[in-house]
Amino acid sequence: MAAKKEDLKVVIGAGEYNNNPGWIHTQEDELNLIDITTWNARFEKNSLTAILAEHVWEHLTFDEGIEAANLCYQFLKHGGYIRCAVPDGFFPDKDYQNIVKIGGPGPFDHPAASHKIVHTYQTLSNMFQTAGYKVTLLEYFDKKGQFHVHDWDGKDGVIFRSKKFDPRNQGEKLVFPSLIVDAIKP
């Protein structure tokens, strides 16, 4: 997934972060994952090389997630990808699970208050596969609570809340990991 000069790369729900210089950073009101009119206003179909969504897809139901994946599929080039990170439902830490649970821990303005799903590698993979993508797991916990990491390159999209980049996750103990996948349009 080496970058080329004509590559268009988009960060969905960028927030205040700019972990990916050279990418187009968007907010929900500019580019909504389930509103095609916002996409048509900015991009042509089959024009994007990469889409990065860090802690965005958990704010959609499973069905909305498929709808969003289908919409993104229309705008990705063949071989393009979505790098998606969400809270990991198999991370065996009760405090973490309380923070990321559906509806969040409160108050209403807490970022997790609008969580609609807590994905596992199975549900997230299934969602993207249903939309026609080939899924590569990058960082995730399995059903037994074992952490798995496959080598991935930040040049293809930095996920801050990861083993690779989050200072809280350096050393022996993970504190705030993410389930991270690349969903590739064949």
Closest to 169 measured CA to CA, from 88, 56, 51, 59: 88
- Which range marks the domain in which residue 141 is found? 9-184
Average pLDDT, the chain: 93
Mean pLDDT value across residues 42-65: 97
Higher local confidence (pLDDT), 17 or 153: 153
SS3 content of the chain, % helix, strand, coil (to 5): 25, 20, 50
Q: Is 0.85 topped by the overall pTM?
A: yes
At 14, which CATH number? 3.40.50
Instruction: State the Cα–Cα distance between residues 117 and 2, nearest whole angstrom.
Output: 32
Give a yes or no: residue 115 inside a domain. yes
- The answer to whether residue 30 is domain-embedded is yes
Q: Over 60: is that where the pLDDT of 3 sits?
A: no
Asked if the structure places residue 153 within a domain, the reply is yes
3-state secondary structure 93-125: CHHHHHHHCCCCCCCCCCHHHHCCCCCCHHHHH
When divided into structural domains, the chain yields a total of 1
160 band by pLDDT with thresholds 50, 70 and 90? very high
Q: Which residue has the higher pLDDT, 110 or 97?
A: 97
d(CA 86, CA 65) in angstroms, rounded, equals: 12
The pLDDT tens digits of the residues spanning 104-159 come to 887 777 888 999 999 999 999 999 999 999 999 999 999 999 999 999 999 999 99
